[in-house]
Amino acid sequence: MTIGHERTQLALLRELDELLLQIQQWQQVDMTWQPAALLRRNVAAVTERVRTLRVRLDAPLVVATFGGTGTGKSSLVNALLGEEVSHSGRERPTTRQPVLLVHQDLDLQGTGLDLADVQVSRLDAPLLRDILLVDCPDPDTSGQADPGSNLAMLRRILPHCDVLLYVSTQQKYRSDRISEELLQAAGGCRLIFVQTHADLDTDIREDWQRHLSERFEAPRIFLVDSRQALLDQREGRPVVAGFAELQEFLRQQLGSTRRLAIRRASLTDLLDQVFAEGQRSYDEGLPRVQRLRQAMQELQEQLRAEMSSTLTRELLQNRGLWERRLAAAVVDRWGLSPFSALLRLSSGLGGLLTSLSLLRARSSVQMALIGAAQGARWLKGLREEQAEGESISRLSSLGIPDHLLQEASLKISRYRAEAGLPVEQEQQPALMRLREQLVRMEDSFLGDVGQEVERQISRLAERMTSPARRWLADLVFLLYPLFVIVRMGHNFFWETCLAPLLGRSSVAAPLLTVEFYIPAVFFLLVWCGLGLFIFAAGLRRRLQSAIQDLADRLAEGQLAEGLFPQLEQQCEQVQRDAQRLQSLQASVAGFRRHLSDSELPLGALRTDQ
C-alpha cells in the first residue's frame, strides 16, 4: 500500500466523518412533520449501513453472485477460481445456502460479515487475494421470503456485498422477479453483468443492455461459457476469450487500489438515493405547508381587520374621552397663564367626570383612551370576572365573536391535516385555546393602540400649545378682563376721585354698582365660555383628523404574534428543515464530485431517477 493511497484514505475518512456528523446533527432536530420524520427514519437505516462501510473502507471487497436459478452462478464461481468449490448441478435450486469463498490467510473477524447460515470455504486462489467471493442462492424459486427460504437467505447476505456479479441467461434476463429483487439489492452496490451459457444460448446482450439501461448503468456485459473455462483451466489450456475478458476485468477493477473508489461510490449512492427520495416527499409536502401558512396569514388579516373596524368605531364613539385627555395634556404643557388657568379649571371638572366615566367604562377601547395604568388594572379585573362565568362567549372585548374563531379553527385544522403536521395533544377544546390566544393577541394590540393614542395626544397637545398660539390665546382671552378692570379703575380713580378734584368734572360720578358687576361677571363667564368653546372647537377639529389618521394606520399595522403561534413555529421549522436537507444534498453531491476523477467502469443502479 503506497503512502499516497493511505493519504487518500485518510482524507476520505475525514470527509466522510464530516458528512456523517452533519447528517447526525440534522437527524437530531426533532420534527413532527410527517415527511421529515419518515426521512429521518430512512436515513437512520442507511447511515447504519454507511457506518459499517466506513469501518471496512479498505477491507477486501465482497463480491457476490446474483441471478435466477439455473443461470450458472456456481459454475461461474468455479470457473473463476479454477476448481469445483461450489456445487453446480442440473436440479433447481442447487445452491441452498450462501457459500463464502475466502483466501486461506484471511482473518474473517475483520470483515464484519454476519456468518450465520453461511458456508465458508478457504482456498488459495489468486483471485481471492483481493476479494471475498460469495456464491448466493437464487431469488426466484421461493414465492415469498419465508424464513429459511433461499430468498430470505439472499436478502440477509446482500447488504454486506460491495459488488454483485449479476449472472443471467437467454431465458432469464427479463425475469420480472429477478429484476425486482435486483432493484432492491442494487442500492449501494456496484454491478457486473454476465451472460452465461455461451455454448447453448444466443447472444442477447444488446437487448439485455437496452432493457437494463432504463434503471441501471450497464457499461459492459460479458458473455462467458463457464463450463468450458473450467475445463480449459483444468487441462492447462488458455481460457476462451469471453471468460478471459471477465477475469482480466475483475483483476483490474476489483483490486486493492479500487476499493476506496468503489466503496465511496456505494456510499454516495446510498445517501443520494435516500435523500432524493426524501426530497421528493418534501417537494410534495412543502406547498401544502405553504398553503397552511397562507391560510393562517389570511385569517390573521381577517381578524385584524375585524379588530380594527371595531376599534375605529369605538374610538369615534368615545370622542368625549379624547377631548378630556387632550385638554389635560394641553393644560399640562401650557404653563402658567390666565387662559391655562381657565382650562385647568374646566379640565378639573372634566377630570372629575373622567373618573366618574371610568367607573362606567365598558370597553377596552375606552380604557385605552382613559390611560394605560388604570386601564390595565381594570382590564385584568374584568377578565377575571369574565373567566369565572363560563358561559360568556364574548370574552374578547374587542368583539371577535366565537363564530369567527370557530371558522378559523375549522379551516386551519383542515389545512394542517393536509400539510401533514400532527395535531398536538390538547387538554382544552380548540375554541377555548383560540379564545385565550385571542386575548393575548388583543393585549398586544391594545398595547399598541394605547401607545398610539398617547402619541397622538401629545402630538396634538404640542401643536395646540405652540408659543405663538399661547400668547395669542392669552392675549385675546385677557382682552375682556382688561376691559373690565380698566372700566372699574377708570370709574374708581378717575370718575369718582381725580376728575372732580382736577375740575374736569362737575360732580363725582357714583361708584359702579351691582348693576354693573352682575352683567360684567355674566359677560366674563360668557367670555370664558366663548374662549373655551372656540378652543375646544379647534381641539375637536384636530381630533377628528387625528382619529381618522389613527384608524387608518391601525388598519395597516401588523400584529406581532399570530393566532396559532405553535403552528406557525412548526411551519417555520419545516421551512428550515427543507433548507437543511438541501444543504445536506449539496454536501453529498460534493462528496460524489471527488469521485468523478476516478470514473468506474462498473454498473450500478441509476441515481438520476
Partner 1 sequence: MSSAADDRRAWTDCRSVVVALHDEILRLQNQIGLLPVSLASAQEWFALLTQKLIPQLGGSAFLVVAVAGGTNTGKSSVFNQLVGSRASAASPLAAGTRQPVCLVPGSMADPQLLQGIFPELELRPWDAAEDALSEAAADQLYWRKCEQLPDGLLLLDTPDIDSDARMNWARADVIRRAADVLIAVLTQQKYNDAVVLEFFQRAAAEGRFILPVFNQVLLPEDEPYWPVWLQTFCDRTGGSPQVAFLAPADRRAAESLQLPFHRREITAGTDGGVENSGTVAGETLDDVSAADSDATATELSTRAHAGAKSLRDYLCQLPAGELRFRSLQGSVVALVNQETGIPAWLRQVEAAAGQLQRITGGESESGLIRLDRWPSVPVASVIDVLREWWRERQPAWAQAINRFYGVAGDVLLQPFRKRNRVGHAEALDDALTRYRDQEWLLILQTVELTQDKLQQLALAGSGKLQDRISSLLAGDAVEQLIRRLQLDHRECDLQRELQAVVNSTMQKMERDRPQVFAVLGRVNQVSAAVRPVTSAVMFSLGFGPAGDLLAPLAGQAVMHTAVDVLGGTAAAIAGEAAVTTAAESGAGVLQNWFCQLQAEFSLRRAAWLVERLQQSFLGDLPEQTRVAAGVVQSVEFRAVAEQLDQLRTLLPRFAVTPIDGQERSDSEEDRR
What is the per-residue binding string for partner 1 in 90-129, x denoting contact by CB under 8 A? Answer: xxxx------------------------------------
Among 130, 140, 181, 232, binds partner 1 (CB under 8 A): 140
Measured from the Cβ of residue 256, the count of other Cβ atoms closer than 10 Å reads: 15
CA separation for the pair 139, 95 (Å, rounded): 11
Among 15, 117, 245, 402, binds partner 1 (CB under 8 A): 402
C-alpha 600/C-alpha 604 separation (Å) is 10
- φ, ψ (nearest 5 deg) of residue 195: -95, 125
Question: Which of 595, 604, 585 has its CA nearest to residue 271?
Answer: 585
State yes or no: residue 313 binds partner 1 (CB under 8 A).
no
Task: Mark 282-301 with x for binding to partner 1 (rule: CB under 8 A) and - for no binding.
Answer: ---------xx--x------
Question: In this chain, which of 69, 233, 300, 465 binds partner 1, going by CB under 8 A?
Answer: 69
Instruction: Compute how many residues bind partner 1; rule: CB under 8 A.
Output: 43
Contacting range for partner 1; rule: CB under 8 A; set: 38-46, 199-207, 363-371, 487-495 = 199-207
Q: Is 200 in the site for partner 1 (CB under 8 A)?
A: yes
Interface with partner 1, residue 211, by CB under 8 A: yes
Cα 442 from Cα 316, distance rounded (Å): 19
Q: Which residues from 331-360 bind partner 1, rule CB under 8 A? A: none
Interface with partner 1 includes 303 (CB under 8 A)?
A: no
Part in contact with partner 1 (CB under 8 A); list of ranges 341-349, 357-365, 383-391, 400-408? 400-408
Three-state DSSP class for residue 135 = strand
Give the one residue of 71, 195, 253, 273 binding partner 1; rule: CB under 8 A. 71
Length of the chain: 609
Provide the grid cell at 153. 437467505
CA gap 425, 450 in Å, rounded: 36
Which single residue is written with the C-alpha cell 388594572?
Answer: 377
Nearest-angstrom CA–CA distance, 274 and 262 = 19
> Residue 415 Cβ, how far from partner 1 at the closest point, in Å?
4
Paired residues of 62 in beta bridges: 132
Q: Which of 73, 160, 172, 470 binds partner 1 (CB under 8 A)?
A: 172
Which of 141, 309, 386, 607 is in the footprint of partner 1 by CB under 8 A?
Answer: 141
Q: Binding segment for partner 1 among 237-245, 406-414, 479-487, 492-500 (CB under 8 A)? A: 406-414
In order of 38, 543, 563, the CA distances from 404 in angstroms are 35, 32, 12
Site string for partner 1, 410-439 (x = CB under 8 A): xx-xxx-xx---------------------
CA distance 195 to 193: 7
Cα–Cα dist 536/542, whole Å: 10
Burial of residue 533 (CB within 10 Å: 0-12, 13-18, 19+) is exposed
Is residue 175 close enough to count as binding partner 1 by CB under 8 A? yes
The C-alpha atoms of residue 539 and residue 330 are separated, in whole angstroms, by 10
Nearer to partner 1, 401 or 489 (CB): 401
CB of 397 to partner 1, least distance (A): 16
CB 343 within 8 A of CB 330: yes
Binding residues for partner 1, rule: CB under 8 A, are 68-71, 90-93, 140-143, 169-177, 179, 200, 202, 204, 207, 211, 291-292, 295, 401-403, 406-407, 409-411, 413-415, 417-418
